[in-house]
Structure 1
Amino acid sequence: CGIRTDFLDYTVDRSPYKQGKFLPGTHIPIFPPEEIWETRPTYLFILPWNLKDEIMDQMAGIRDWGGQFIVPIPEVRIY
């Protein structure tokens, strides 16, 4: 689908088995969620839309620095 590091700097996953690897077909690294607090991104792109409420609750602290959530499915929404 053409998504590379020029669009996403990195992704995060709670699974230690995925951390330190890359998303298939890209060169986008997978880090533990703590990376978010270290890099303070402006936007957090949530791909598993069915878990958006849970993820937004867990990551609510990004709003402290003005961060927002983007959920692209079923339609693009910014929270």
Structure 2
Amino acid sequence: MQLNLHDLGQLWAYCKLCNPAEAFLLSSAGIGSLNKILNNLSRTDLLDFGDGRKIKKMQIAKWDVIANSVDYRSLVPRI
């Protein structure tokens, strides 16, 4: 299943409640409709979370099942 805005919203709510050090949203099927929102429309501000003093970013990417790791070409935001 490709990722969508609902998946991003669930991770964002978790991040607001728990304020983790890092947050990743991965799918072996790809980032789906989030590609248009995050890459084409440049809305990476939707990835922001934190306690207000320090803003952190969720990271979204495709999971490469062959390499058993993140496909860094699909990573948003780019590092």
Quick check: TM above 0.5? no
Greater relative contact order (CA < 8 Å, ≥ 6 in sequence): 2
TM-score by length of 2: 0.36
